[in-house]
């Protein structure tokens, strides 16, 4: 047998190691802005299946909360204190609720109300409406770090196990993040068969030292382990009712304007103050929607603190228009190149331009009066949920104005990957429904805009 002398084997190993390190450096170039990290954000948005390029153990953005670890005693104390003041889930009787129009879901409006929500909704002209399944809720602290104003949050609870996870996690967020406690109001939506779903978790949980305010994602991950396979199976078999959730969040807003987002869409810093100044002066309310451009950000970058730093990130290839690579119709009509010509040194929010090339499947995040068409609840799961609503706005004659320098970000550069079969099925089911939806809205508004349907 061929034998290497001992010395050359070591040399080969050293050379291989060196090559390996070189390759690693190539894959993850050390950007300066990388260090203070960001959170891992899987997608929760509509459109095509995507996967963020996320390195493992990506730390949570360090700005979101005070450095503290909560002990079980603290949490129990908090829950019992909240019990007295009717602040947490503890006082919610989930044996009854408001039905949705199809009698498929029960709804608890205003399950937990932010301590300053009423007051805040009077101060702020704009309320952020957002929705989440239990897995994605860890994004809320970061949303709340940047959106210092009223937030109406719709939560989906598939059974009692998820309800308990939500209960603990919402309590955790309220304890760790002052703006969640003050300004976030939660609504819960349950499936009709809730009672028959698994879930007899014994409380209190053994949660000693598991609650870390620095890391909402890790905290949530721990709690999610409490769900049994039965709950996960149910979730797999049943669609997530995206449009029910959006309507629920929207209708819980008390302010004049609603900014509907998905939970993983992070508004730019200080946008509430800037947007309030802008909305004090707008003259078009009815049939006008104000688009806030959305970018996807490399997880190694830090959150851009201004449009100027966002521009710097785009130049380095660390940021780009949301879904540009995986589903370009999603935001294309926003016309980012036009938006990017305003350099971002503007001192106040203004209209950058109007959307002139509306196209089918366009689904911007926008601010508008909540008299915009509802999100049609026949669409459930993936595909045609948000963009069908925007399409109806277009048929109804809405104009879309793009605002600057405010923006929103989604963590993770998206790349195309094969869609799982269930997702394709949901999309196809909704595509079929879309045909009748389209005929209905053409008839309702007596308008066929003759847009090419893809
Ligand atoms: C909160 O209140 C409910 C109902 O009043 C009670 O059953 C529960 O034990 C209380 N929880 C705590 C932690 O005090
Ligand atoms: C809640 O929102 C209002 C603005 O509507 C803001 O003035 C207040 O500081 C926020 N509360 C917290 C604790 O951030
Ligand atoms: C974007 O704006 C540029 C410059 O005004 C224009 O030429 C282009 O057609 C626009 N593109 C879209 C998709 O609206
Ligand atoms: C922003 O920058 C542009 C070009 O650098 C300049 O012409 C413009 O006056 C600046 N605007 C403000 C508000 O500073």
- Quickly state the pLDDT bin for 47 (edges 50, 70, 90): very low
Residue 5 clears pLDDT 80, i.e. is over it: no
Is residue 426 domain-resident?
Answer: yes
Whether 269 and 255 map to the same domain: the answer is no
Whether 307 and 291 map to the same domain: the answer is yes
Is residue 269 domain-resident?
Answer: yes
Is residue 15 domain-resident?
Answer: no
Q: Which domain holds residue 423?
A: 265-454
Whether 293 and 332 map to the same domain: the answer is yes
Q: What is the pLDDT of residue 41?
A: 34
Whether 279 and 150 map to the same domain: the answer is no
Q: Which of 225, 259, 293 is the last residue of a domain?
A: 259
- Contact in structure between 141 and 39 (CB atoms under 8 Å): no
Residue 66 clears pLDDT 50, i.e. is over it: no
Is residue 19 domain-resident?
Answer: no
What is the total count of domains within the chain?
A: 2
Whether 329 and 353 map to the same domain: the answer is yes
Is residue 436 domain-resident?
Answer: yes
Is residue 22 domain-resident?
Answer: no
pLDDT tens string 404-446: 999 999 998 888 777 788 888 888 888 888 899 999 999 999 8
Is residue 453 domain-resident?
Answer: yes
Cβ 343 under 6 angstroms from ligand 4:
yes
For a pocket test of ligand 3, which of 328, 338, 353 has the largest count of ligand atoms closer than 8 A to its C-beta? 338
For a pocket test of ligand 4, which of 274, 311, 343 has the largest count of ligand atoms closer than 8 A to its C-beta? 343
Whether 339 and 235 map to the same domain: the answer is no
Q: What is the pLDDT of residue 189?
A: 96
Cβ 94 under 6 angstroms from ligand 1:
no
String of DSSP letters for 245-311: HHHHHHHT--SSEEEE--TT-EEPTTHHHHHHHHHTT----TTEEEE--EEEE-TTSPPPSSHHHHH
Which element (helix H / strand E) includes 78? helix 72-84
Cβ 308 under 6 angstroms from ligand 4:
no
Whether 394 and 425 map to the same domain: the answer is yes
Whether 233 and 307 map to the same domain: the answer is no
- Contact in structure between 411 and 142 (CB atoms under 8 Å): no
pLDDT tens string 111-139: 999 999 999 999 999 999 999 999 999 99
Whether 224 and 300 map to the same domain: the answer is no
Which element (helix H / strand E) includes 142? helix 140-146
Q: What is the chain's alpha carbon radius of gyration, rounded to the nearest angstrom?
A: 23
Residue 364 clears pLDDT 80, i.e. is over it: yes
Whether 180 and 244 map to the same domain: the answer is yes
Q: Which of 240, 259, 278 is the last residue of a domain?
A: 259
Q: What is the DSSP letter of 91?
A: G
Whether 65 and 195 map to the same domain: the answer is yes
pLDDT tens string 253-301: 999 999 999 999 999 999 999 999 999 999 898 899 999 999 999 999 9
Whether 252 and 391 map to the same domain: the answer is no
Is residue 135 domain-resident?
Answer: yes
Report CA torsion sign: 416, 418, 423, 427: positive
- Distance from the CA of 92 to the center of ligand 1, in angstroms? 10
Q: Which of 259, 292, 326 is the last residue of a domain?
A: 259
Mean pLDDT of 49-78: 44
Q: What is the pLDDT of residue 343?
A: 74
Mean pLDDT score of the chain: 81
Residue 29 clears pLDDT 80, i.e. is over it: no
Report residue 444: phi and psi, to 5°.
-60, -45
């Amino acid at each position: 047998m061929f034998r290497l002398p001992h010395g050359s084997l070591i040399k080969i190993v050293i050379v291989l190691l060196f090559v390996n390190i070189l390759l690693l450096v190539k894959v993850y170039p050390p950007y300066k802005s990388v260090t203070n990290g960001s959170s891992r954000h899987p997608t929760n948005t509509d459109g095509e299946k995507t996967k963020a390029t996320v390195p493992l153990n990506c730390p949570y953005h360090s700005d979101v909360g005070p450095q503290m670890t909560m002990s079980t005693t603290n949490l129990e104390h908090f829950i019992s204190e909240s019990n007295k003041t009717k602040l947490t889930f503890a006082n919610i009787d989930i044996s009854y609720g408001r039905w949705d129009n199809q009698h498929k879901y029960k709804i608890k409006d205003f399950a937990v109300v932010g301590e300053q929500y009423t007051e805040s909704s009077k101060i702020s002209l704009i309320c952020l409406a957002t929705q989440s399944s239990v897995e994605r809720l860890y994004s809320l602290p970061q949303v709340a770090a940047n959106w210092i104003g009223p937030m109406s949050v719709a939560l989906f609870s598939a059974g009692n196990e998820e309800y308990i996870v939500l209960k603990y996690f919402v309590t955790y967020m309220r304890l760790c993040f002052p703006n969640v406690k003050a300004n976030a109001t939660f609504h819960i939506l349950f499936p009709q068969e809730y009672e028959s779903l698994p879930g007899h978790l014994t409380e209190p949980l053994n949660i000693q030292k598991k609650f870390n305010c620095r890391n909402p994602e890790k905290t949530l991950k721990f709690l999610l382990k409490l769900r049994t396979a039965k709950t996960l199976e149910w979730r797999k078999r049943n669609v997530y009712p995206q449009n029910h959730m959006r309507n629920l969040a929207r209708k819980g807003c008390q302010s004049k304007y609603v900014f509907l987002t998905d939970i993983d869409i992070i508004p730019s810093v200080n946008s509430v103050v800037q947007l309030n100044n802008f909305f004090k002066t707008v003259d078009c309310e009815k049939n006008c929607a104000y688009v806030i451009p959305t970018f996807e950000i490399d997880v190694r970058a830090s959150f851009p603190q201004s449009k100027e730093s966002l521009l710097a990130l785009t130049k380095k290839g660390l940021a780009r228009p949301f879904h540009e690579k995986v589903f370009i119709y999603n935001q294309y009509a926003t016309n980012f190149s036009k938006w990017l010509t305003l350099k971002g040194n503007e001192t106040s929010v203004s209209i950058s331009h109007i959307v002139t090339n509306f196209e089918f499947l366009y689904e911007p995040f926008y601010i508008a009066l909540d008299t915009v068409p509802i999100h049609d609840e026949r669409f459930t799961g993936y595909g045609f949920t948000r963009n069908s609503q925007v399409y109806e706005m277009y048929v109804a004659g809405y104009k879309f104005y793009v605002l600057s320098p405010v923006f929103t970000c989604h963590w993770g550069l998206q790349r195309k990957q094969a869609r799982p079969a269930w997702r394709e099925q949901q999309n196809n089911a909704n595509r079929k429904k879309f045909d009748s939806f389209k005929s209905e809205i053409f008839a309702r508004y007596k308008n066929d805009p003759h847009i090419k349907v893809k």
